[in-house]
Amino acid sequence: MKTIVKASALLCLLVLLCSNLNGQTVTGKIYGTVIDKQSQTTLPGVNVLVYSKDKRYGIITDANGLFKLENIPVGRFSVEFSLIGYEKSLLQNVSLTSAKDLFLNIELLEKVEKIDEIVIKARTKDKVINEFAMTSARLFTVEESNKYAGSWGDPARMVSNFAGVVTAGDQRNDIIIRGNSPTGLLWR
């Protein structure tokens, strides 16, 4: 009888202790590399998304095309790899077990898109006022002179931003265009 009482007391004690133990979630690690399928070079900046039934995990590959996702609950899930200019790659029913980590070596195929033709048309922004000035004639407005940095509404300061134009300094208002004399410049 004493042994039955001791055994039941021990059983009650074990039941009470076991009720306080929490179940622990088993997690794993997913890691790997992403490379270009044709050139076999690593791809940095690839989006890696892991879809489980209730959560989503994500990371971006580093400069060497490597990624590592840690603390992923074991089970089955889908993994998607995407990068602009490449076809998406989707792995479905990937299994992560508690016994070992999952290594993925992914090859992405470059995406080629057919687009319509692009037509570039030249247009003249300004018309030359003086027909005798075949070169080095440029028309600009007051609004345009206020748009350039440091012009302060001064046309001489504004044109110093154009190629081939040099100023004499802040003390003078002279500008030199392609090495010519500042007195040969005509302002209107």
- pTM over 0.75, yes/no: no
Q: Which of 4-13, 21-30, 63-72, 113-122 is the most confident on average?
A: 63-72
Q: Which domains does the chain have, with CATH numbers?
A: 26-108 (2.60.40.10), 124-188 (no CATH)
pLDDT band per the 50, 70, 90 thresholds, residue 65 = very high
What backbone phi and psi angles, to 5 degrees, belong to 67? -140, 155
Residues facing 32 on adjacent strands: 67, 104
Task: Look at 113 and 134; give whichever has higher pLDDT.
Answer: 113
What is the rounded CA–CA span in Å between residue 46 and residue 57? 14
Task: Look at 62 and 71; give whichever has higher pLDDT.
Answer: 62
Which one, of 115, 105, 53, lies nearest residue 78 by Cα?
Answer: 53
Mean pLDDT of the chain: 77
What is the rounded CA–CA span in Å between residue 99 and residue 117? 55
